Structure 1
Amino acid sequence: MTTAVLTVASSGRRDHLARQRRVLAEVAPDIVRVEAWLDAAPPAGIPDADTLTLHVPPGPHGMRVGEGRNRAAEAAIAAGADLLVFLDVDCLPGDGLLAAYRSAAAAHPDALLSGAVTYLTSVQRPGRAAELPPHTRPHRARPSLTAGRTRPATPAEYDLFWSLSFATTPEAWARIGGFHAGYEGYGAEDTDLAWTARDRGVEMRWVGGADAYHQWHPVSSPPWQHLDDILRNGRTFADRWGSWPMGGWLDAFAAAGAIERRDDGWVRVR
């Protein structure tokens, strides 16, 4: 099985990308590697000679994360990949991640496959594959299975899909149709992909042993810097699916007096 690992990147994540490249070289030297760069300018002095490097510049409203992943998938399939593993630039692959996804894809080639993610703390800075296992503590909001096990997601669990780490065969990817191009900037493209998969009868499966480790970076809660993106992308999602995503963030913004509910949507009031 020819495996491609696909990452969307930007200059703001140079250090995270460097660690990801180093760990990938340890655990997966035989992969097709694709990086889609989302900055306005093409990357300078960063691309790896063994990597297929794409440039997907921002749209009018921000970085096009979903479209970057779509283009990366196209390049990987053209290069002969039988399995597409999408790994966020902040994530380091555990030494069992690729084997777990390959095994799950062989058994369930028509499924959207989702592994567990551990969020590292600010003082946890592993840079080698051997340093990762002691930090394993999968996020409790999503199912975590033992290595070698998979199980189908319930219909409600499609809401828990993350694009931090997931995998599909090219055939399953074609059935889903990739990420919707209408999302720019932060938010909603993950849930839209999962709902599209569910709508088109694509099974989602939780995959044990496919552990990824999210490198720490500063965050705000709620993410005030993304408020306008959340409102815009939330509106796009609501127009497509009839309900608003990211309800927790919307409630937090509303409680702070920044937005309010009007008719069937949310609007900014300050």
Structure 2
Amino acid sequence: MSTVSVVTLAKGRPAHLRNVLLGLERQTQAPAEFIVAVMQDAPYDLPAVGFPVRQILVPGRELPLAAARNRGVAAASGDAVAFLDVDCIPAPDLVADYAQGLSERNGLLMGEVLHLPEHATTSAWDYAGLEAVSERHSDRRGPPVSGIEICNDYRCFWSLNFAIRRTTFLATGGFDERYTGYGGEDTDFGKLLDRRGIPIAWMKGARAYHQYHPHHMPPVHHLESVVRNAELFEAKWGYRTMGHWLYAFKVMGLIDDTPETPIRILRRPDAADLALTRQQSHQPYTNAASVIRAIEAREDADAAARADAPAPVTA
């Protein structure tokens, strides 16, 4: 496995994208090319680098994440394709690590991800500085101590930073382009690999540093597409995915997800919901679990207050 094309999906965030490109310039093994699947009307203004850079416009009213990944692979020439989100800076050995890993094992490999706080990349950065302030996500499985370790649960597939042989990807048919907007398309692809017997694995190395940007978790700002894609997954596979997000939406009073009936959106997120789920500037990442715990604690406190309240006086 000698050549690796790197594909990034991008909409907005030009500063983040330039940092991805800068990270690719610093690789111990240069990528065969850098392909940007552009999910906006116009391409980016990017500096010249020492390897080919191509931008492919992928139109879509909502985020066409599945289609963009497929277009990126279709345009790639490398033996393998590494996918990096637009907010992920590759560590110097990412391309080389994926090239080596995929020469040893045919499957989907997930590299390491560390999260950066706000302002970590707003000025000139180096890898020592990124390493010093980065944190691992508390809700995500860490890498093995060394080498490659098979993941036996396809739901752990995280599309932030992964690689696969190009021929293997094409043989699967790629991502299901019926998924649009945010959520579900990566779990669907993981399920497809599981059904095909194509292993999914964590690997030591192939590290990426996730750049800070304000976000909501659970993603209440993508309520409609999460609901729609969960129902698409259910129609395809017989059960719903993104259950932790749906549960969070339920306890927040946003949806009714009674089994065997269509999910009903009860209301749109309001300012309080957005404040509850918004990533704060001191947080390198957000997680749905902490929000769920906060809501459940608040409900327990309200229930206790009601129980302790004196009974109404009646005549």
Instruction: With the length of structure 2 as denominator, give the TM-score of the two structures.
Output: 0.77
Task: Give the letter aligned to residue 201 of structure 2.
Answer: R
1:260 aligns with 2:256: yes
Deviation per CA, 1:57-97: give whole Å up to 9, x if none: 114xx010111111010100xx3x11111111010111122
**Which residue of 2 is the match for residue 199 of structure 1?**
195
**Deviation, structure 1 residue 47:** 7.5
**Deviation, structure 1 residue 152:** 1.0
Contact 1:97 1:212 in 2 (8 A): yes
**Which residue of 2 is the match for residue 111 of structure 1?**
107
Aligned-residue CA RMSD (Å):
1.9
1:85 aligns with 2:74: no
1:220 aligns with 2:219: no
**Deviation, structure 1 residue 136:** 4.9
1:153 aligns with 2:151: yes
- Which has the larger strand fraction? 1
Tell me, what secondary structure is at the counterpart of 2:177?
coil
Tell me, what secondary structure is at the counterpart of 1:132?
helix
Contact 1:94 1:132 in 2 (8 A): no
List gaps (5 residues or longer) in structure 1. Answer: none
Relative to structure 2, which stretch is displaced further, 256-265 or 234-243?
Answer: 256-265
Instruction: With the length of structure 1 as denominator, give the TM-score of the two structures.
Output: 0.89
**Identity over aligned residues, as a percent?**
33
List gaps (5 residues or longer) in structure 2. Answer: 268-315
**Which residue of 1 is the match for residue 18 of structure 2?**
18
Q: Equivalent residues in 2 for 1:1-270 (5 A)?
A: 1-10=2-11, 12-27=12-27, 28-39=29-40, 41-43=41-43, 45-46=45-46, 50-59=52-61, 62-76=62-76, 79=77, 81-108=78-105, 110-125=106-121, 127-140=125-138, 141-146=140-145, 148-154=146-152, 156=153, 158-262=154-258, 263-270=260-267
CA–CA distance in structure 2, aligned partners of residues 204 and 217 of structure 1: 28
Contact 1:3 1:31 in 2 (8 A): yes
Q: CA, structure 1 residues 265+217, in 2 after alignment: closer, same or farther (shift >3 Å)?
A: same
Tell me, what secondary structure is at the counterpart of 2:263?
strand
> Relative contact order: is structure 1 or structure 2 higher (C-alpha 8 Å, sep ≥ 6)?
1
Aligned residues: 259
CA–CA distance in structure 1, aligned partners of residues 248 and 95 of structure 2: 37
